[in-house]
């Protein structure tokens, strides 16, 4: 496994629509392992393949109950609403208020290309929405209500929000 470089806002790779995965390959398994390691090292709650420069529909999520590996994920159910601070490993040092569903259910394939279902509330629901949008080239900064803020101004010097 290896830590991969996280692409940052302004990098065109973050604005592209990713391609479906049609078969699992050793190369993609390595990518998934690397994405998990990169997410944990960066202390994020999720990471999408385009954030490490790969335009494939793969995300990893760990909102405290993971890890979850989602290949070709799509959201099939949402309910409720939550409004709170969100961050992104590709937008370092920033946070902003975003409204998301409070409950989300997604269907996907796992790293063995077997059906995988993931449902969650609160941070997990937020992470699912956030990561899946990366696969369509969208960043949370375009959804922020009000201003994008410095993490330091919101949480102080010592604490950081969970970034996705
Ligand atoms: Zn993100």
> 144 alpha carbon to ligand 1 midpoint, in Å?
13
Distance of CA 38 to the CA centre of its chain: 12
Residue percentage of the chain with pLDDT more than 90: 91
Question: What band does 160 get if pLDDT is binned at 50, 70 and 90?
Answer: low
pLDDT of 155 reads 84
Which one of 86, 111, 131, 164 is the catalytic residue?
131
Taking the C-alpha atoms of residue 96 and residue 107, their distance in angstroms, rounded to an integer, is 27
pLDDT of 156 reads 81
Task: Look up 131 and say whether it is catalytic.
Answer: yes
Per-residue pLDDT tens over the stretch 59-117 = 999 999 989 999 999 999 999 999 999 999 999 999 999 999 999 999 999 999 999 99
Distance of CA 22 to the CA centre of its chain: 21
pLDDT at 133 over 60: yes
Taking the C-alpha atoms of residue 42 and residue 47, their distance in angstroms, rounded to an integer, is 10
Per-residue pLDDT tens over the stretch 23-66 = 999 999 999 999 999 999 999 999 999 999 999 999 999 999 98
Intra-chain end-to-end CA distance of the chain, in Å: 20
Burial of 59 (0-12, 13-18, 19+ CB in 10 A): buried
pLDDT of 134 reads 98
> 86 alpha carbon to ligand 1 midpoint, in Å?
9
Residues 6 or more apart in contact with residue 150 via CB below 8 angstroms:
93, 94, 95
Distance of CA 48 to the CA centre of its chain: 5
């Amino acid at each position: 496994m290896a830590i991969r470089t996280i692409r940052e806002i302004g990098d065109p790779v973050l604005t592209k629509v990713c391609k479906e995965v049609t078969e699992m390959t050793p190369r993609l398994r390595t990518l998934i392992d690397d994405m998990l390691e990169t997410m944990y090292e960066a202390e994020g709650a999720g990471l999408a393949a385009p954030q490490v420069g790969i335009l494939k529909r793969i995300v990893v999520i760990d909102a405290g109950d993971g890890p979850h590996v989602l290949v070709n994920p799509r959201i099939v159910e949402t309910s409720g609403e939550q409004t709170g601070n969100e961050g992104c490993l590709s937008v370092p040092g920033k946070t902003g208020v975003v409204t998301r569903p409070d409950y989300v259910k997604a269907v996907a394939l796992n790293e063995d290309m077997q059906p995988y279902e993931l449902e969650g509330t609160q941070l997990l629901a937020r992470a699912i929405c956030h990561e899946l949008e990366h696969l369509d080239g969208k960043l949370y900064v375009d959804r922020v209500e009000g201003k994008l803020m410095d993490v330091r101004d919101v949480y102080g010097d010592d604490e950081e929000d969970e970034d996705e």
